Structure 1
Amino acid sequence: MAERQRAHRQVLARVALFAIGATSGVQLANFTVTGLSVVCLLLAPGFLLMMHRGIDLLPAVLAVAGSLSFVASCAVNGVTVLWPNAIAFPAFLLYLVGLTVLTVRAVDATATVLAGIATGTMAFFLTQGIELTRTGSIPDLWKYGIAHAVTILVLFGMTTARIQPLLQSAVLVALGLASLGLNFRSHALVCLLAGAIVFTRHMLGSRIGRGWQFLGVAVFGLVFAQVMPIAARAGLFGAALQQKTLEQDATNLPLLLAGRTEPPLNITAILERPFLGWGSAFNLTPDVYARAQHLAIRMGFDPTFPFELYWRLPPSDYSATHSILLGSWVEGGILAVLLPLWLLVACVGVVWNSTSFGRWSPLVVTLALQGIWDLLYAPWTYNMIPEFVCITLFFCAVRVRRPMVAVRDSS
């Protein structure tokens, strides 16, 4: 009887965690403030009652430093401190404090909250969405809205149902191929790499060192980067991807830029004001744009490339830099880049120690790989901040234990 009551309480606790995560579907202020923010604010006092190690407090300190750096940059450059990219840092701090109290840094609890956040993301995009997802097009809804959330929910459901990692890796490959057909290459790459890592770690275990395993996965990624454009140009994944691939081929973009046009602009802006930044990317001067174009051409861009079309966005668009890592430096200054850099290290650490998460490994690896891509090549998007907090909690959880020792799942 006591065992049954304990199991019943665990189920109720999981449901409550999931429901709390799902409150993130209520939008209160762009991508930074949601219903989950309110819950985290109410839980914040509990953070002071918990024990913390240095590794636990470091991201909070970096979030504070980034917030102060943005305040100074906004003041110097005449930008409102309510600029969404500036609010992202205090929002991260609030989510970190609240979710730490909620999950007590337990892996299974964090995974459950993450699934709730993914549900909130789907609810937001299916009921409200953004301009890019309100076109009535399924590929647009998938690419700009729900692809990542669907992937998280599928992996969470399979893990909860105790589905074997090999089958989860096959599902990741299937999701990757589906995203190729829906013109979402970055998500396809994340799913295929995650599937390859899960498959390799499950099949080889400790028989081959992690370094060699990841080298093999890296080779797979490079082969994919070469073969995928050939297949796309042949129309094997649909007309939309074929057209986009042909358009990007014409620009001669280096592979390192991953199809993004903004890095030359970001690098030029950083070199111009490396310490305090610009407050907002819309403060960049014509001279900066001109020097960025010269740099882009030296990097391999065609001189006839329409830079103005890609770089000059409406003043209400906060995604001009299209990189959390470089964009934070451009707008907030050098202190603002420290948190994204730490998050990048956390993502890599989570992937490297993936076996430490036991049955949650496929979910955690996929989340961390998506985090790496987003930090390098994406702007802040809806519910991305609490997801990075979940990565932080996963990273801190595994740092408590020796590498290669599975994290205990209390479920």
Structure 2
Amino acid sequence: MNAHDDMTDADARTGRIRRFLLGTLTFQGLPVLGGAFPLATIVAITLIPVRPVAKRPIFAKTLPFLAVLCVAALLGSSLLQQRAIPQESISYLGATALLLWVGIGTASGARGASEILLWTSVGTGAYWLAVGNDLTRAGLDYLWKFGIAFQAVVITLWIVSRHVKNYRAASVAVLVLGTLVSLFAGYRSAALIALAAALITVVKGTDRRLGPMRLTFVIAGGVVAYWLLTASIDAGLFGVELQIKTLAQSGSGVLGGRTELALSAAAIGAAPAFGWGSLQAVNAETIGRAQRIAEHFGLDPSVYLPIWIRPNGALSVHSMLFQAWIEGGLIAAVFPLALVGLLIWSVLASRGRWSALTVFASLATTWDLLFSPWDFGRSALIAASCALAVWSIVSAGRSDTTGFRTTPSLQQRSRLGHHIEH
């Protein structure tokens, strides 16, 4: 049964209003609390005791429990080891859990969840366009790379998925265009994500899950596409700046320049169970061990040390997941790890009208959790993407995966009658 079938028009209207507010009110953070808690947090808090638009799936009900464990582990590790409380991880992960829980209850299906992601992209995109920071104000390519790339692709994908009859072909075209724009802007990771999403959308075909055979085709096609893309970059087809950057990182062997992985591995390896209490508590001995790991992969210290140790002396691992693990130990990592698992599940399971949007948002959010730092609006975008992942997984088991009410075809009714009779 579709989640919309037992909803009144008033319920549907109320749901749309809630989704609009949850999304658009991400354009500004709460005073004092900053970027972790957008204005939409107030809406989310007021909606906690309110009856949800739709019943939350059973597997999604474990997420708040995991989030509480995560925050408790972060607090407990820092207090027991007498470290500074890791406010960034606690704030952003807590805000993500709150917005995700309310978003799931406000969505009522893949289409509703897509609306939350749409309006969240509009809200956070408006912030980067109107306010931004020194990087996003440095030029259009920097604005795309550090501000609005994800939001722009999401908004365009939503429009074609909702309004274009041949939504699958249109979605692939949008993703290919996003790949090219990101390449010319020097944003390689976004280009690879958009290209992977396009490839998965093509291979899935019409309303199909990504089974073992199709997954094999995706992997093979991805290898070929990556080789062609790398060759094009090396040849300078996407600009000299991207060519020089790629050539400088080509010998790293660590995910094409993700140098922070060496530091994360060393820090987690030194305190895997309970963490350090604070990222800034990682000692010189561990940093030395990380340097030896980096040297093993051929990394240049002049390149990675300024990335690990910022001008103000603060350490950075450029990863939401690994930062939580380093600070609070394995238990603190369970919640972001669960989100990664949820997102990958949705990539494999999603189908129908919202599949391309789900695949792109899930791949991009997985990358962010693994290889991006926290910044403004990130908690809201992760929550919206995960809410879409939840409902896409649920919708994958239903006959109606388009997000619209449908009448069963004669063939479907014939099959239904056959099953009833037998």
Query: Above 0.5 in TM-score?
Result: yes
**Counterpart contact for 2:117–2:385, Cα < 8 Å:** no
More helix by share: 1
Q: Tell me, which stretches of 5 or more residues in structure 1 are unaligned? A: 1-5
**Counterpart contact for 1:30–1:84, Cα < 8 Å:** no
**Counterpart contact for 2:354–2:402, Cα < 8 Å:** no
Match among 303, 306, 309 for residue 309 of structure 1: 306
Match of 1:253 in 2: 252
CA deviations on 1:222-274 (whole Å, 9 max, x unpaired) are: 2233232221122100122112112213xx111x5232001111011011111
How far is 1:336 from its partner? 1.0
- AA at the equivalent of 2:61: L
How far is 1:134 from its partner? 2.7
Query: Are 1:231 and 2:227 matched, yes or no?
Result: no
What is the distance in 1 between the residues matched to 2:85 and 2:42? 20
What is the distance in 2 between the residues matched to 1:33 and 1:364? 24
How far is 1:210 from its partner? 2.1
Match of 2:44 in 1: 40
Name whichever of 157-166 and 50-59 sits farther off.
50-59
- AA at the equivalent of 2:320: I
What is the distance in 1 between the residues matched to 2:156 and 2:17? 17
Structure 1 residue matching 2:25: 3-state secondary structure: helix
Match of 1:371 in 2: 365
Match of 2:328 in 1: 332
Structure 2 residue matching 1:277: 3-state secondary structure: coil
**Counterpart contact for 2:276–2:329, Cα < 8 Å:** yes
**Counterpart contact for 2:349–2:396, Cα < 8 Å:** no
Match of 2:416 in 1: none
What is the distance in 2 between the residues matched to 1:290 and 1:361? 45
Match among 107, 110, 113 for residue 107 of structure 1: 110
Query: Are 1:262 and 2:271 matched, yes or no?
Result: no
Q: Normalized against structure 1, the TM-score is what?
A: 0.87
CA 1:373/1:245 → structure 2, altered by over 3 Å: closer, same or farther? same
Q: Normalized against structure 2, the TM-score is what?
A: 0.85
Structure 2 residue matching 1:278: 3-state secondary structure: coil
CA 1:284/1:329 → structure 2, altered by over 3 Å: closer, same or farther? same
What is the distance in 2 between the residues matched to 1:262 and 1:369? 20
**Counterpart contact for 2:55–2:105, Cα < 8 Å:** no
**Counterpart contact for 2:321–2:370, Cα < 8 Å:** yes
Where do residues 277-316 of structure 1 align in structure 2 (5 Å cutoff)?
Answer: 277-298=275-296, 300-302=297-299, 305-314=302-311
Q: Tell me, which stretches of 5 or more residues in structure 2 are unaligned? A: 1-7, 406-422
**Counterpart contact for 1:43–1:101, Cα < 8 Å:** no
CA 1:403/1:253 → structure 2, altered by over 3 Å: closer, same or farther? farther
Match among 189, 195, 198 for residue 192 of structure 1: 195
Match of 1:3 in 2: none
CA deviations on 1:355-376 (whole Å, 9 max, x unpaired) are: 1xx2111111110111221122
Q: What's the C-alpha RMSD, in Å, of the aligned pairs? A: 2.7
CA 1:289/1:33 → structure 2, altered by over 3 Å: closer, same or farther? same
Structure 1 residue matching 2:35: 3-state secondary structure: coil
Structure 2 residue matching 1:235: 3-state secondary structure: coil
Match of 1:83 in 2: 87
CA deviations on 1:267-289 (whole Å, 9 max, x unpaired) are: 11011111221233222111111
What is the distance in 1 between the residues matched to 2:55 and 2:386? 17
CA 1:307/1:71 → structure 2, altered by over 3 Å: closer, same or farther? same
**Counterpart contact for 2:197–2:356, Cα < 8 Å:** yes
What is the distance in 2 between the residues matched to 1:196 and 1:129? 32
**Counterpart contact for 1:353–1:404, Cα < 8 Å:** no
CA deviations on 1:309-333 (whole Å, 9 max, x unpaired) are: 1210255978x11122222211221
Where do residues 15-94 of structure 1 align in structure 2 (5 Å cutoff)?
Answer: 17-28=19-30, 29-46=33-50, 54-81=58-85, 83-94=87-98
What is the distance in 2 between the residues matched to 1:184 and 1:336? 30
Structure 1 residue matching 2:236: 3-state secondary structure: coil
CA 1:403/1:269 → structure 2, altered by over 3 Å: closer, same or farther? same
How far is 1:101 from its partner? 3.4
Structure 2 residue matching 1:370: 3-state secondary structure: helix
Match of 1:176 in 2: 179
- AA at the equivalent of 2:121: A
Structure 2 residue matching 1:31: 3-state secondary structure: strand
Match among 374, 383, 393 for residue 380 of structure 1: 374
How far is 1:51 from its partner? 5.2
CA 1:329/1:313 → structure 2, altered by over 3 Å: closer, same or farther? same
